[in-house]
């Protein structure tokens, strides 16, 4: 085994490596977020009703002309159009409405909440993607490993991975541009067209869903192209690999698509699973009511957009008399918010995950009822520290795209996670390890 830790002696994280060469021609599927020197346009023909079509590319200029079915109940125009055109987010459709590119019965509308009814004739043209400017920023990076081809970083909690509307600065991409000595770039934000509808929680996506950024410098053309091959949620801390050239990007992306990347996470949960270990195999889809959230699709439901998702979990330690647990997760697939959704499905939302039910009020209820009265004040103090979902990407393993060696990295949770864990361990002396 070849130790890689010498490159970063100050890091608490660890790594190791051993050999294989992965051969396959072709590039990764592109991308939620595409960066280039000039925005591209792709026109598509008018969409034939009534089938919803999933489209690829920029989508600018795509047209929909369709009458609302007689059986359709009254609904918002943005929601109805979103149900008819696949691959285009509601945020993009709303931008098209506000730009005057949508008409109902021949009359241009500009309100996204406009109500349509059966028989209405709707015409829509999808607006241009708005370019974002990503500037290099001197943001400290916790580099676990780096060579000429890849960069492994320990992302802090509350750092967004890539620029998006509302998060144009302070992202991991901004930091990487500075670290790799690249100039500013113009980026097309396509993340919304793949289900990321903005908002502080979904603007950066998840560790889970396969994802890539192809960052091309205008001055350097394609000679240096660092790429984010996967994501971590804004609130999630831990390990993330970055490709520094096109070859590495394609090979790492292929490994993610084949689910051969080894990823282990640890979390603190609200409550304890009924079984100390298990496998969750429940499809995940966008929540039709709250678009910044995903949802587990159980039973025989054939919800639109549902994708197969599987996670394995193991309880490492029961905490505070069962009020919480330290749980390890191993991903078989990668979907947006997968761990958070599956945790909620099991009835154990992550501590601090307000989007998926892991609220402070739930934590207080569970912990107060299971802790000695002498610890009540400390319980309240611990819960007040919850500022993010308690989820950390603990380890990451993959085949090095150039050397072929098996590279494995690990990094302990940051201080905020560790402090809450220590508090929970102290509340009930009888807590046991599984």
Q: Where are the alpha helices (DSSP H) in 164-245?
A: 172-179
Q: Residues 49-72: pLDDT tens digits? A: 444 443 444 567 788 999 998 876
pLDDT (tens digit per residue) in 285-322: 988 888 789 999 976 556 667 899 999 999 999 999 99
Which pLDDT does position 5 carry in this prediction? 28
Fold of 14-37+131-261: Pseudouridine synthase (3.30.2350)
pLDDT at 15: 60
Catalytic annotation, pick one of 233, 245, 353, 416: 233
Given a cut of 80, whether residue 13 has pLDDT beyond it is no
Per the structure block, which two tokens stand in for 230? Answer: 């996967």
From CA 207, how far away is CA 132, in angstroms rounded?
22
Segment (H or E) for 78: helix 77-84
Say whether pLDDT at 37 is over 80.
Answer: no
Report which of residues 213 and 414 the model is more confident about.
Answer: 414
Q: How far is CA 369 from CA 84, 322, 365, 382, 428, in A?
A: 48, 10, 6, 15, 12
Q: What confidence score (pLDDT) does residue 58 get?
A: 55
The fold adopted by the segment(s) 264-427 is Pseudouridine synthase (3.30.2350)
pLDDT computed for residue 109 by the predictor: 93
Residue 422 has pLDDT above 60, yes or no: yes
| Tens-digit pLDDT profile for residues 115-152 | 999 999 999 998 876 666 778 999 999 999 999 999 99
pTM above 0.75, yes or no: no
Residue with tokens 């603990």: 394
Give the model confidence (pLDDT) of 346-403 as tens digits.
Answer: 999 999 999 999 999 999 999 999 888 888 899 999 999 999 999 999 999 999 999 9
pLDDT at 88: 75
Residue 218 has what pLDDT?
Answer: 37
Report pLDDT for 278.
97
**CATH 3.10.290.10 is right for the domain spanning 53-125:** yes
Helix (H) or strand (E) holding 181: none
Pairing outcome for strands 213-214 and 53-54:
unpaired
CATH 3.10.290.10 domain span(s) along the chain: 53-125
Asked which of 41-45, 118-122, 246-250, 387-391 is least confident by mean pLDDT, the reply is 41-45
What's residue 292's pLDDT? 81
pLDDT at 168: 77
DSSP-derived secondary structure for 93-111: HHHHHHTT-EEETTEE---
* Per-residue pLDDT at 179: 92
Between 211 and 103, name the one with better pLDDT: 103
* Residue 29, pLDDT above cutoff 70: no
Instruction: Give me the pLDDT at residue 41, please.
Output: 31
Residue 319 tokens read as 């905490």
> Is residue 417's pLDDT more than 60?
yes
Answer yes or no: are the C-beta atoms of 351 and 270 closer than 8 Å.
Answer: yes
Burial of 378 (0-12, 13-18, 19+ CB in 10 A): middle
Does residue 371 contact residue 430 with C-beta atoms inside 8 Å?
A: no
Residue 27 or residue 344, greater confidence? 344
Q: Which one has a higher pLDDT value, 195 or 47?
A: 47
**Of residues 203, 198, 207, the one with CA closest to residue 155:** 207
Q: Is 142 a catalytic residue?
A: no
Mean predicted lDDT score pLDDT of the chain: 77
């Amino acid at each position: 085994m070849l130790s890689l830790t010498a490159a970063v002696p100050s890091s608490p994280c660890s790594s190791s490596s051993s050999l294989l060469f992965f051969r396959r021609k072709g590039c990764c599927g592109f991308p939620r977020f595409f960066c280039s020197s000039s925005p591209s346009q792709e026109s598509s023909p008018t969409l034939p009703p009534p089938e919803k079509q999933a489209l690829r590319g920029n989508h600018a200029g795509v047209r929909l002309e369709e009458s609302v079915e007689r059986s359709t109940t009254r609904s918002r125009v943005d929601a109805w159009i979103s149900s008819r055109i696949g691959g285009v987010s509601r945020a993009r459709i709303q931008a098209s409405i506000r730009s005057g590119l949508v008409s109902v019965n021949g009359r241009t509308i500009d309100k996204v909440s406009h109500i349509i009814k059966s028989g209405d004739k709707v015409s829509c043209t999808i607006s241009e993607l708005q370019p974002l400017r990503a500037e290099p920023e001197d943001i400290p990076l916790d580099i676990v490993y780096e060579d000429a081809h890849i960069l492994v970083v320990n992302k802090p909690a509350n750092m967004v991975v890539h620029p998006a509307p509302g998060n144009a600065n302070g992202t991991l991409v901004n930091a990487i541009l500075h670290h790799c000595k690249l100039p500013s770039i113009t980026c097309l934000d396509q993340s919304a067209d793949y289900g990321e509808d903005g908002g502080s929680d979904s603007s950066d996506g998840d560790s889970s869903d396969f994802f890539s950024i192809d960052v091309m410098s205008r001055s350097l053309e394609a000679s240096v192209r660092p790429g984010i091959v996967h994501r971590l949620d804004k609130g999630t801390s831990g390990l993330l690999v970055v490709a520094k050239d096109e070859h590495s990007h394609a090979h790492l992306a292929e490994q993610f698509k084949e689910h051969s990347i080894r990823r282990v996470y640890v979390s603190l949960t609200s409550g304890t699973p009924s079984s100390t270990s298990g496998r969750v195999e429940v499809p995940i889809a966008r929540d039709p009511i709250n678009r910044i959230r995903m949802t587990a699709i159980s039973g025989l439901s054939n919800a639109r957009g549902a994708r197969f998702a599987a996670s394995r979990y193991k309880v490492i330690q029961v905490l505070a008399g069962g009020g919480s647990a330290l749980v390890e997760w191993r991903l078989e697939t990668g979907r947006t918010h997968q761990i958070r959704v599956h945790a909620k499905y099991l009835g154990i939302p992550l501590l601090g995950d307000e989007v998926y039910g892991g609220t402070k009020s739930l934590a207080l209820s569970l912990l107060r009822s299971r802790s000695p009265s002498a610890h009540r004040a400390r319980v309240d103090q611990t819960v007040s520290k919850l500022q993010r979902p308690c989820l950390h990407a603990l380890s990451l393993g993959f085949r090095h795209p150039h050397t072929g060696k098996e590279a494995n990295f690990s990094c302990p949770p940051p201080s905020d996670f560790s402090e809450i864990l220590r508090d929970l361990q102290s509340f009930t002396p009888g807590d046991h390890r599984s």
